[in-house]
Chain A
Amino acid sequence: MKRYFLSFLLVLGSLGIYAQIPNGSVLIQNGTVLTITQGTRKNTDVLILEGKIAKIGTDLKAPKGVKVIDAEGLFVMPGIIDAHSHIAIDAVNEMTSPVTAEVWTGDALNPFHISIYRALAGGVTISHAMHGSANAIGGQNETIKHRYGVTDPELLRMKNATRTIKFALGENPTRVHGKYHNVPPKSRMGVEAVIRNAFEEALAYQKKWKEYKQQGGNGIAPEYNLRLQTLVDILNGEVMIHCHSYRADEILMLMQVCEDYGIKKICFQHVNEGFKIAPELAKFGAYASVFSDWWAYKFEVYYSTAYNAAILTNNGVTTSINSDSDELIRHLYHEAAKTQKYGELSDEQALAMITINPAKQLGIDQRVGSIEVGKDGDIAIFKNHPLSIYAIPQMTLVDGILHFDIHNDPDDMRVYVNPEEDIDTANFDDHGHDHKCLQGLELFLGEK
């Protein structure tokens, strides 16, 4: 497959075409199709043409030259979407200030990460490559498609996805800035103040530009400030907040701030105590993206419950299950299944947590997250039902192109091999919980 992609890119290169998003056509036959939004359809075919789902039905014919995948006895579901991850980026935290709205993980994309392939091998086709949680207002995130094999970072981007930005409350920003650098915030009160101050500064900045423009551009233009402009974009609803948060009080605080500044859309990330204020989250229309069962790795997640997703769902909050981990991202289908142990959610509800719900949270539900005509040809095919512990992903397609095939899966799937790397190099520390979110902290603090 790797070879296929390299030659594909060579061909593109020779034609002088740059950054053309690759797509494919394929007919998936006779599978049990879990559409997510339109029920389960047995013995059904899905036809993908030029990267888009063209037809869903029975006895569909493959147009000439279109590859056929026999999915008899297999389960066909939309590609899994991870609303919180840090794979495929070379930098996670810009922890030099409590407010860093000007930075963007999209500037640090790395298409060579093997974790992209490993996520594909778990049926995941889209992830939200997020900034870390060191700052009250962190950097902007990038929603990526797992087009593994491309070498141009541009080709990883999901074009025209809703812009999002990372916020963070509680222990992480107060530790990094208050505790270690004596700069507010040092408390949850300080976090609120930092965010409100930033929004006020943004309003003043917006006013200056408005006045300048009202004067027909006469006089001296205000100095352009990317940080403040990004905050203005949040206030204008162009950038959606995805906020790292755990405790109920801090979540209520940010909803109040949003209400005060007229911000309508927000997705809380982790939100371990969301279950305590599920009715308030539902009333506000806030989204929640949670772990299936992580807890106790720090004090603010000690009063957690694995029933969080079920309580939120039953109270009407659109909820997703995320990974925040290059290990967990490989079995999100299993993480979603835990909502059946903890809260007895239905198959449809459990599967929505890793498909259409994260799609809504990323503002891409019109294009992905279910098997519907017109949507992207992002598909995961499983042996055994994806919510079963015995589920084994068989094939994963992005834009109609087969990126993972268990029957054509050489051990070494690296696209780029560092010639200086020792073949004997091995890693035995699995990253701990909440590790990735603070990646970079050890350098910043001069600690190990």
Chain B
Amino acid sequence: MINRFLFTKLMMALLWCNTLFAQNPKAETGVFALTNATLYTVTNGVIENGTLIIQDGKIFDMGTDSSIPAGAEVLNCQGLSVYPGLIDAGTQLGLKEIGSLQETRDESELGEITPQMNALTAINPNSVLIPVTRVAGVTTVLSTPSGGMFPGTAALINLHGYTPQQMFAGFKGVILNYPSSAKPWWDKRPEKEFDKEYKQKIKRLTETWEKAVFYHTLDSAYQAAPSSAEKPSYFPEIAALLPAVRGEEPLLVEVNKDSDILKALAWVKQHRIKAVFTGVKEGWRVADSLAAAKVPVITGPVLSTPSRGYDRYDKAYANAGLMKKAGVKVAIRTSEAENVRNLPYHAGFAAAYGLGKKEALEAVTIVPAEIFGLAQEMGSLEKGKQATLFITDGDPFETKTQVKQVFIKGWKVPLINRQTLLYDEFLERSDQVVSPTK
């Protein structure tokens, strides 16, 4: 008895020392060996009892007979599973801190045509929201500006790094809010007035695009022969559209209503634009057209209400599955900032309501990687890809599953954030409880 008591005391003293000297654990990198793990590769099935070696930020080796390099830190993953980091293909993470405080929000600039507004410029690497998100296994997100017709250029970021450049994950894309013919509930203007503005927007969209195509001609001529051609004048909002005009990066077209989706399909076809459609809430109504046009889709939030009073209650849950069934390539997003951590649950609901577990996992890993042209680097567990992955004690979509470890580009990220620190401090307060009255 006494021995055990002494032992406990000693252990507590040790623990106390640890906490005293390791107050702010930092991310660590090096060589790691994840052993005895169930590896959910996404692209090559499931490897039971596998080993995964992380070195130089990459998956150095992986399989059932990988040898462990000398000096590697071994993490025994007996009974645990490893998944590629989850990718949320549409968020405001890093751009928006506190919803009601304008001073803390940078996702929206004034103006209708502002594609030169660069999300990466305003990403706050120290946002309190970021550590809260990555402990859920969401490692990579697309941060998107919002607002006018061309509100800005979105950036894909990894949720670890001291500067936006360190976080940048290799994809930028111009956003187009395709003019919506659905009058929002809060817009109390008469129908006529709304329609007039809608038509003007459609006109302005095409004018803007034609300007950009013309600018591309001038700019290309200048790039080909800088000495003879005239340099096009400074026109930042048009210049920012060039990657989309040239098809170097897809144009991210936000569109939700069935009739608008069809119009947008016709518009991108007419202008031969490489497009990805986002939102696509009523995609299930026009899924065959989307599939025929081979336009990939980033849909979400899955956890939302149907767009029409007469739609079946579960249409928002079922949308991803219905589109996939019709042959559309589907990724899933949350459209969140502070609760991007719920991405696994959006995927889980889509899985339960028709998409299927395998397809739902793909929709938050390899499919967004493909859409962003980064499938060689991320989105699955494969030798040579970035070591961006997480370890769980179960199905990553199940609510009670715990994430045991997260790696982002080979960095072992501490699983703490303000919310876990508050839990640690307040679960059992150390003071004597006093009555609220004196």
Contact = CB atoms under 8 A, between A and B. Distances in A.
B345 to A, nearest CB: 6
Contact of A411 (B99, B257, B311, B395): B311
Interface string A187-220: 0000000000000000000000000000000000
A255 interface: yes
A406 to B, nearest CB: 9
Interface string A326-352: 110011001001101111100000000
B194 interface: no
B313 interface: yes
B351 A390 contact: yes
Contacts of A307: 419-420, 422-423, 427
A383 to B, nearest CB: 9
Interface in B92-147: 97-101, 128-129
A50 B305 CA distance: 34
Most B Cβ at <10 Å: residue of A117, A296, A342, A343: A296
A278 B423 CA distance: 12
Contact of A337 (B128, B129, B399, B433): B399
Interface string A410-448: 011110010000001111111011100000001000001
Interface stretch (A11-19, A51-59, A67-75, A297-305): A297-305
B182 A303 contact: no
A327 B423 contact: no
A412 B306 CA distance: 11
B436 A280 contact: yes
Nearest to A294: B339
Nearest to B314: A121
Nearest to A293: B339
A326 B180 CA distance: 24
B304 A430 contact: yes
A157 to B, nearest CB: 24
B436 A255 contact: yes
A434 B100 CA distance: 10
B400 A341 contact: yes
A226 interface: no
Given A296-B338, A297-B338, A305-B418, A427 B427 contact: no
A276 B426 contact: yes
B290 to A, nearest CB: 17
Given A311-B423, A327-B305, A428-B256, A296 B99 contact: yes
A417 B310 CA distance: 9
Contacts of A427: 182, 184-185, 307-308
A297 B422 contact: no
A389 B397 contact: yes
A298 B100 contact: yes
Contact of B310 (A305, A412, A432): A412
A334 B281 CA distance: 22
A252 B436 contact: yes
A252 B279 CA distance: 43
B409 to A, nearest CB: 25
Interface of B: 97-101, 128-129, 180, 182, 184-186, 256-257, 259, 279, 281-282, 301, 303-314, 337-339, 341-342, 344-345, 348-349, 351-353, 395, 397-402, 418-420, 422-423, 426-429, 433-437
26 contacts: A114-B309, A256-B437, A275-B423, A278-B426, A278-B429, A279-B429, A280-B435, A280-B436, A283-B436, A296-B99, A296-B337, A298-B101, A305-B418, A305-B422, A340-B400, A342-B419, A390-B352, A390-B397, A409-B312, A413-B313, A424-B259, A427-B185, A427-B308, A428-B184, A430-B304, A442-B186
Identify the 5 closest CB pairs spanning chains A and B, nearest first. Answer: A389-B348, A337-B399, A297-B99, A296-B338, A340-B400
